[in-house]
C-alpha cells in the first residue's frame, strides 16, 4: 500500500484517501472528495473532476510529480548559524549548473511548483549568486511555517542500448530555523517533520566549538549558541517519542553529520587528509572516499570537539556518516558581502550523494583506498 506524506503538514495518507476537487462542469464545483469515491474517473456527482490531489489534512495542493514518485523528505537541521540555508542554496545551484552537474552526466534538477521556484529565487539564489550577499537568518516556524523546497532529480542510466531515462527522485528539503530545534514550543511541528524524513542532514558548525573559537577567533553573526550536543540529544529524543522506539534500540533513519565551513579550518587538517583532496564521487558514490572522510571527521571531532559526540551518535543511530564541507569556500567579508572570488563550494554535495546512494538513485562503487 502506498502512502503519501504531505510536504506541508507532514501527515501520512493512503493514496486513496487523498482528496480531489469537483471540476468546472459539476454543480458542486470546488467541493472536495476522497479519491476512493472516484467512479469511472468521475466525481460523486458524475462530472469530470480536477486532476490534482489535495491533502485531506491541510487542504493544500499536492504536486502530481510528488504524489506519483513517492517523494523523499530530507530534513536539514542544526543549531542557529550552522550554515543550513547556505548549504541548501548552494547545493541546488551545484546540481543545476555547477560542478556536480558536470560530474554526473545526464543528471538534471528541477524545482517543483511556483512556490519552490519563487522561494529559491528570492531567498537563496538572488542574494548568493546575483548580489554576492550572505543569506538572512531563517525565520522561526513560530512566525512562519517553513515552506518546503521541492525538487526533482533525474539521473540517466547508460547501458548497452544507450541512455535510458529513469524515474525522478523527488526530494523535499526543509530548511529549519536553528533556534526552533532547541525551543520546546516548536516540538510538535519538529516531531512530525523529523518523523516524515527519510534522511536527516545534521550540520555542525566548527565556529560554535569552544576549542576552535580559541584557535580561529569568532566569526558568527551571533553569540550565545545552543550547545550542538544538545541539538543532537533533542533530535534522538524527538524521533524516539514519535516512533515509539525503546531507548535501547537505535534509530533507522540514515543520518548524515556534516562539519560545515571547513574553509576556516585549514590548520587542523594535515596535508595528507582526505579533506585536502578532491572528492572521488564521479558519476557514482565512491564508498572508499566516503569512509576515508568519515574516519577523518570522526577523529577530528574527538580531538577538537567532544568524544561524547560520536558516542551519542553511535548509541542512537544505526546508519550514520560524517562529512566535511564548505558551501561558500571562503569566509564572507562581512554580514553583507561574500568573498570577492565568489562561491566555490568544496565537497558540498557529499552528504546528499550518500543519501541518494542509500535511496538507490545513484550507484555505489567500492572505490580504491
User: In Å, how far are 5, 76, 123, 124, 179 from 137, measured between CA atoms?
Assistant: 28, 15, 10, 12, 10
Residue 285 contacts residue 354 (beta carbons within 8 Å): yes
Site for Mg ion in 128-157 (CB under 5 A): 138
Contact flags string 35-64 toward Zn ion, x per CB under 5 A: --------x-x---------x-xx------
Nearer to ligand GTP, 90 or 356 (CB): 90
Residue 98 contacts residue 130 (beta carbons within 8 Å): no
Q: How far is the CB of 78 from ligand GTP (least distance, A)?
A: 6
* Cα radius of gyration rounded to whole Å, the chain: 22
Copy the grid coordinates of residue 335: 554580514
Helix (H, G, I), strand (E, B), or coil: what is residue 284? Answer: coil
- Residue 301: other Cβ atoms inside 10 A: 22
82 touches ligand GTP by CB under 6 A: yes
Contact flags string 170-199 toward ligand GTP, x per CB under 6 A: -------xx---------------------
| Residue 286: φ, ψ to 5° | -90, 105
Nearer to ligand GTP, 33 or 304 (CB): 304
Query: Exposed, middle or buried: residue 140 (CB in 10 Å: 0-12, 13-18, 19+)?
Result: middle
Nearer to ligand GTP, 4 or 176 (CB): 176
CA 87 – CA 94 distance, rounded (Å): 10
71 contact choice in Mg ion, ligand GTP, Zn ion, none (CB below 5 to 8 Å, kind-dependent): none
Which residue from 257, 264, 357, 361 is in contact with ligand GTP, where contact means CB under 6 A?
A: 264
197 contact choice in ligand GTP, Zn ion, Mg ion, none (CB below 5 to 8 Å, kind-dependent): none
Size of the site for Mg ion (CB under 5 A): 3
DSSP character at residue 233: H
Copy the grid coordinates of residue 325: 564541507
Nearer to Mg ion, 85 or 326 (CB): 85
Site for ligand GTP in 99-138 (CB under 6 A): 134-135, 137-138
Nearer to ligand GTP, 32 or 137 (CB): 137
- The strand pairing partners of 158, in sequence order, are 163
Copy the grid coordinates of residue 305: 570537539
Which residue from 109, 194, 327, 361 is in contact with ligand GTP, where contact means CB under 6 A?
A: 327
328 touches ligand GTP by CB under 6 A: yes
Copy the grid coordinates of residue 191: 516531531
CA 262 – CA 274 distance, rounded (Å): 12
| Only segment of 4-12, 225-233, 244-252, 301-309 that touches Zn ion (CB under 5 A) | 4-12
Copy the grid coordinates of residue 228: 550542538
Helix (H, G, I), strand (E, B), or coil: what is residue 144? Answer: coil
- Residue 338: other Cβ atoms inside 10 A: 23
Contact flags string 297-326 toward ligand GTP, x per CB under 6 A: -----------------------------x
Nearest alpha carbon to residue 206 among 124, 323, 308:
323
206 contact choice in Zn ion, Mg ion, ligand GTP, none (CB below 5 to 8 Å, kind-dependent): none
Which residue from 4, 5, 21, 22 is in contact with Zn ion, where contact means CB under 5 A?
A: 22
Site for ligand GTP in 223-262 (CB under 6 A): 260-261
CA 260 – CA 229 distance, rounded (Å): 15
Residue 45 contacts residue 92 (beta carbons within 8 Å): no
58 contact choice in Zn ion, ligand GTP, Mg ion, none (CB below 5 to 8 Å, kind-dependent): Zn ion
User: In Å, how far are 114, 135, 137 from 335, measured between CA atoms?
Assistant: 29, 9, 11
Nearer to ligand GTP, 137 or 364 (CB): 137
260 touches Mg ion by CB under 5 A: no
Site residues (CB under 5 A) for Zn ion?
Answer: 6, 8-9, 22, 26, 28, 43, 45, 55, 57-58
Site residues (CB under 5 A) for Mg ion?
Answer: 84-85, 138
Site residues (CB under 6 A) for ligand GTP?
Answer: 78, 80-86, 134-135, 137-138, 177-178, 221, 260-261, 263-264, 326-328, 331-332
Amino acid at each position: 500500500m502506498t502512502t503519501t506524506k504531505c510536504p506541508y503538514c507532514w501527515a501520512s495518507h493512503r493514496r486513496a484517501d487523498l482528496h480531489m476537487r469537483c471540476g468546472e462542469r459539476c454543480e458542486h464545483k470546488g467541493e472536495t472528495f476522497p479519491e476512493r469515491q472516484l467512479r469511472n474517473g468521475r466525481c460523486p456527482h458524475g462530472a469530470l473532476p480536477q486532476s490534482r490531489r489535495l491533502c485531506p489534512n491541510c487542504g493544500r495542493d499536492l504536486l502530481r510529480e510528488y504524489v506519483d514518485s513517492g517523494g523523499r523528505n530530507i530534513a536539514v537541521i542544526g543549531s542557529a548559524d550552522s550554515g543550513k540555508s547556505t548549504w541548501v542554496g548552494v547545493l541546488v545551484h551545484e546540481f543545476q549548473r555547477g560542478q556536480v552537474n558536470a560530474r554526473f552526466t545526464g543528471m538534471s534538477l528541477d524545482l517543483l511548483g511556483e512556490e519552490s521556484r519563487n522561494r529559491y529565487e528570492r531567498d537563496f539564489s538572488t542574494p548568493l549568486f546575483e548580489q554576492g550577499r550572505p543569506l538572512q537568518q531563517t525565520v522561526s516556524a513560530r512566525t512562519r511555517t517553513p515552506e518546503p523546497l521541492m525538487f526533482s532529480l533525474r539521473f540517466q542510466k547508460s547501458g548497452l542500448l544507450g541512455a535510458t531515462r529513469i524515474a525522478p527522485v523527488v526530494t523535499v528539503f526543509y530548511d529549519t530555523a536553528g533556534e526552533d530545534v532547541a525551543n520546546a514550543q516548536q516540538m510538535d511541528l519538529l516531531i512530525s517533520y523529523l518523523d516524515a524524513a527519510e534522511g536527516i542532514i545534521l550540520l555542525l558548525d566548527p565556529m560554535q566549538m569552544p576549542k576552535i573559537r580559541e584557535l580561529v577567533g569568532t566569526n558568527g553573526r551571533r553569540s550565545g549558541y545552543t550547545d550542538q550536543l544538545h541539538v543532537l540529544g533533542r533530535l534522538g529524543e524527538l524521533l524516539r517519542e514519535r516512533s515509539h522506539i525503546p531507548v535501547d534500540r537505535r534509530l533507522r533513519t540514515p543520518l548524515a553529520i556534516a562539519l560545515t565551513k571547513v574553509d576556516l579550518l585549514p590548520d587542523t587538517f594535515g596535508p595528507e587528509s582526505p579533506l585536502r583532496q578532491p572528492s572521488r564521487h564521479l558519476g557514482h558514490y565512491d564508498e572508499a572516499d566516503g569512509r576515508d572522510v568519515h574516519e577523518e571527521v570522526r577523529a577530528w571531532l574527538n580531538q577538537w570537539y567532544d568524544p561524547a559526540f560520536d558516542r551519542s551518535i553511535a548509541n542512537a543511530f544505526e546508519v550514520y556518516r560524517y562529512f566535511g564541507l564548505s558551501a561558500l569556500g571562503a569566509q564572507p567579508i562581512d554580514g553583507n558581502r561574500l568573498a570577492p572570488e565568489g562561491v566555490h563550494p568544496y565537497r558540498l554535495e557529499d552528504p546528499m550523494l550518500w543519501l541518494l546512494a542509500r535511496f538507490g538513485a545513484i550507484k555505489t562503487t567500492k572505490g580504491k583506498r
